[in-house]
Structure 1
Amino acid sequence: MIVAVEGPCCAGKTTLSRGLLKALPQLTIAHVRCYADFAGGGRHLPDPVPRTLAEDAAGLQELVRLERARTDAALRSDSDLILLDRGAHTLLAHRYAIEQVTGLKCFGPARRAVAEERLPTWPDLVLYLDIPQESVHERNRGKFPHDSIFIEAKFNAGIRSYYTGITGEQDIVWLDATLEPYELVTLAEASVSHLLTTAAADQEGLPREAAAAIGQGRLRGLAQRSVARPVLDVDTRERDASVEGATRSESGRGVQ
């Protein structure tokens, strides 16, 4: 099963991901870092504000290659759960928001291009950290310059609008990012546990209503089979080095 943590920059995605790793010790989790961290920093990613459709298409192609590289080890691992710090939806949400801000009609072409790639990492569940714009500015603390697209209100509204638009086709849990970290972890843990138990019930041909009843027992069973199984670090230094070399010539701060 694949779970992606999504939301605007400064929403707390990495913090929530780390909290989930600690909250689910009974599972073997393949954790996949965000695009910028995996590439060695946002400066190694394509420019986040393309000026032409050709530039955006080239940037998207680079990000798709990066998506395959950063998730390859996780897909090949013997894990109970793959946890993505941003997933493939990020690639489309970014372009949806860019179109709202700049008027560059890049979302449609990007959606078709990504569909043709048939990426194997579309999530079974999205945990979306919903954060008001004022909180984005409060949390930024100099991470992004004042004129960065990533902290612009219209851009972040576009990101949110993308996810509201796919709610009917993608399982999304909306989380209030202004809650305390431990509260968010508790809510996210419950959502992930429900996903796993429902999937187990479906696999065994049990009624959906049985999932809630067997939930805790199912997780205890997983715990017994997974004692001392570690979180998988799927981002080796060799992999980081290869991606950094492949993307060093790109400009901009990229997808954050």
Structure 2
Amino acid sequence: MKIIAVEGPSYAGKSTAIEHLRSIGIERQAFVSDCYVRQIAHRDDIPPARTESAAAQLAAFEKFMAIENTRVRAALASAKPGAVLDRSVDTLLAHAHALDALYGYDVHDQLRDRLQELPFLRPDHTLYLDVPAEALNLRRKLARHTATESDYFLLDPAFLTHARNYFVSRARPPVSREVIVGRPTPTRPTSRTQSNPSSRSWRGDWPLPTALFAWRHTPPPLLIGGAEVTQQLLAEEFAAAGWRTVYLGSHQAPWDQATQLPQIRAFLDSHHTPYEETRGDLRYQWKKVDCIAVPQHRTASTLHSLLSGLQPDVVFTSQEGAADLAAQARPTALVAGILHSVSARSSCCRSHHSARASRPAESSRLVI
């Protein structure tokens, strides 16, 4: 029997994936099993995720292995050539590994030894759904589960890190013969006729779409004028709401090519913000916004790479040279132009809105 397991943190989409497989008739060919917790009839009988002692952790393992024994018998009785599992015994070992790291229970090796004495389904292949913590928490909030259980241990950052390391970093060798780390990507429109934002749905890694800011001024957090303030605040709001937010800018002024790298480095250093600098590109994260500062001559090529790699759902652009950036992004994403001011230098306005005005606009406006 070929056994495939789906693993990942809570709210990663494991059960959703299993239900989808059921909807397309997978059970005609394979035995399909829900996760351990779903097979416990009464909620009060579910062992706590944060056990109070090593003894309690060992007892929880025995309870779940009794369910595993039922799984084994049901799989054999089905006489089907394959099995698909929502979680496997690797879940139990990853959980023990995390609690050993957090509380020093030191039970992981005991559970591995005990596992060899019990019947269990060993996966041939395990797909680990590697979903960012921000997305997990947002999915839980959207499911309205935060009101009933505000302190949810399974999404505790430290627990998530240690449990993930079991599968991704192989902190301990998984039982599964193979572990594939999957980072699902959102569904994208396949043609311009499908690009109406009101009809889109997003699935997979990010429950909300990806926003890309691209212009020829500096990215956050270096502020020069009102345009920089407006776009930084907008980007930070997207990131705070759970969107994947990337901000492409240039560390050279678009009007005279003067470099602003020293000022950006000094600002980041003074705020203890790490950054990477390679071939004139500066990359860092500011308030959950991934920022990239490149030379002016590499703005277009970097945007091309980001459009291909990120597949953003919306691109924001403005100021000098925005018309060219908008034209570059428009075939693959919704493009929004932010009109900060109108001037002879504003090519975005001249090229796309035929605006003729000499005085600055009183406020920023969004033009799509």
In the aligned structure 1, how far is the partner of 2:183 from the partner of 2:103? 28
Change (3 A) 1:26 1:150: closer
Change (3 A) 1:41 1:128: farther
Correspondence for 1:176 among 153, 178, 183: 183
Match of 2:106 in 1: 105
Secondary structure of the 2:106 match is coil
In the aligned structure 2, how far is the partner of 1:168 from the partner of 1:71? 16
Pairs aligned (count): 183
Give the number of the structure whose residues are more often strand, by fraction.
Answer: 2
> Quick one: percent identity of the two aligned structures?
26
TM-score (norm 2): 0.45
Match of 1:19 in 2: 20
Change (3 A) 1:94 1:167: closer
Q: In structure 2, list runs of 5 or more residues that go unmatched.
A: 188-200, 205-368
Match of 2:4 in 1: 3
Structure 1 position 153, deviation (Å) = 1.0
- Tell me if 1:148 matches 2:152: yes
Query: 2:4, 2:126 within 8 Å by CA — same for their partners in 1?
Result: yes
TM-score (norm 1): 0.64
- Tell me if 1:76 matches 2:71: no
Match of 1:253 in 2: none
Match of 1:131 in 2: 131
Change (3 A) 1:124 1:41: farther
Q: In structure 1, list runs of 5 or more residues that go unmatched.
A: 185-256
Give the number of the structure whose residues are more often helix, by fraction.
Answer: 1
In the aligned structure 2, how far is the partner of 1:124 from the partner of 1:52? 32
Once superposed, what is the RMSD of the aligned Cα atoms? 2.6
Match of 2:94 in 1: 93
Secondary structure of the 2:47 match is coil
Residue identity matched to 2:151:
D
Change (3 A) 1:88 1:19: same
- If asked which structure has higher relative contact order (CA below 8 Å, sep 6+), I would say 1
Query: 1:97, 1:158 within 8 Å by CA — same for their partners in 2?
Result: yes
Residue identity matched to 2:41:
G
Change (3 A) 1:168 1:104: closer
Change (3 A) 1:147 1:5: same
Match of 2:164 in 1: 160
Change (3 A) 1:44 1:177: farther
In the aligned structure 2, how far is the partner of 1:148 from the partner of 1:26? 33
Secondary structure of the 2:126 match is strand
